[in-house]
Amino acid sequence: MLHQFFSQEKAIEVLFLIAFPYLLFTAVAFCAFYLWQSRKYWYMKIQRYWPKKRHIAREIMLSLLTMVIFIAVILLINWAGNRGYTRVYPKISDKGYVYFVFSIILMLVVQDTYFYWIHRFMHWKPVFKLVHKAHHLSTNPTPFAAYAFHPAEALLQIAIIPIIAFTIPYHLFAISTFSICSLLVNILVSHMGFEFLPKGFTSHKYFKWLNPSTHHNMHHSLPKCNYSLYLNIWDRLMKTNHPDYEETFERVVNERDEARLAKTKETGIAKKNQQTKIGAPGMPYRAKL
Ligand SMILES: [Zn+2]
Ligand SMILES: [Zn+2]
């Protein structure tokens, strides 16, 4: 029955396109920051404790289910595209490179708006328990939380692809680039759990319109605020940023910078002690997952 809609080769291609980047980016981010180099990067952790193993396992299991749903929807859109139902166009030169770049930016902006409003909808009490609570079980998210959705939320999230495919003229490479950008931000910013940006970012004239990692991390620990995705436009317009959003960001960054300074000093003392053969002081705390 299913082979009437798409070939086995197409299914494998989509599986590779969806699953491979997700598994690669989450595995690299998680292994680097939560396992192999966890002591080295601990000072940048937004919430100063490690998530429990059972939460990480739940995030991974839900992510696998989400990928199945995403793959099914993308195969259907591909089937519709092959029959001329979507607005896909075959050659980049058909609309030019300027439009090609513009279409990617447009997709990100459309998704940013779509996400904010479905997110507000999912926080509506009757919907929250059924649809969005599964994602919020991660109060201290890891990169695997990026796809940790209830199946109903997974469908709502992937609905951005048909919305784009049926309304915006797109090249396959543009929609793939958009998907990779979206995935990267979702993993490395929204759900990373580490803050990399400098102080003053959230009060800067221009940068304040972009969301740092702390923004969505706060949403996971204090759910009734900070709903936006990439841009801090809708949260500002609708006054849904947490009242202490900027102060919290500054506190996180100050604590990080102080911890980095202390770490540098400690390393310096350790090196000096090693040279004088006194012996290195104890290593910084390494939390167990
Ligand atoms: Zn989240
Ligand atoms: Zn939420």
- Residue 276 Cα, ligand 1 centroid: separation in angstroms? 49
Please answer whether residues 153 and 172 qualify as being in contact, where contact means their C-beta atoms are separated by less than 8 angstroms.
Answer: no
pLDDT at 26 (0 to 100): 95
| Cα(266) to centroid(ligand 2), Å | 39
Q: 8: CA distance to ligand 1 center in Å? A: 33
pLDDT at 275: 59
Residue holding tokens 């050659």? 91
How sure is the predictor about 278, in pLDDT bands with cuts at 50, 70 and 90? Answer: very low
- The Å distance, Cα 212 to ligand 1 centre, comes to 13
Of the ligands numbered here, which is closest to the C-alpha atom of 229? Answer: 1
Calculate how far, in angstroms, residue 95's C-alpha sits from the geometric centre of ligand 1.
Answer: 35
pLDDT recorded at residue 8: 74
Helices and strands (DSSP H and E) totals, the chain = 12, 0
Angle at 163 between CA 161 and CA 167, to 5 degrees: 120
Residues in the chain: 289
Does the pLDDT value for residue 56 go beyond 50?
yes
Q: What angle do CA 288, 252, 124 make, to 5 degrees?
A: 90
pLDDT tens digits along 159-186 = 999 999 999 999 999 999 999 999 999 9
Q: Distance, CA 164 to ligand 2 centroid (Å)? A: 23
Across the range 89-98, mean pLDDT stands at 96
Ligand nearest to the CA of 128: 2
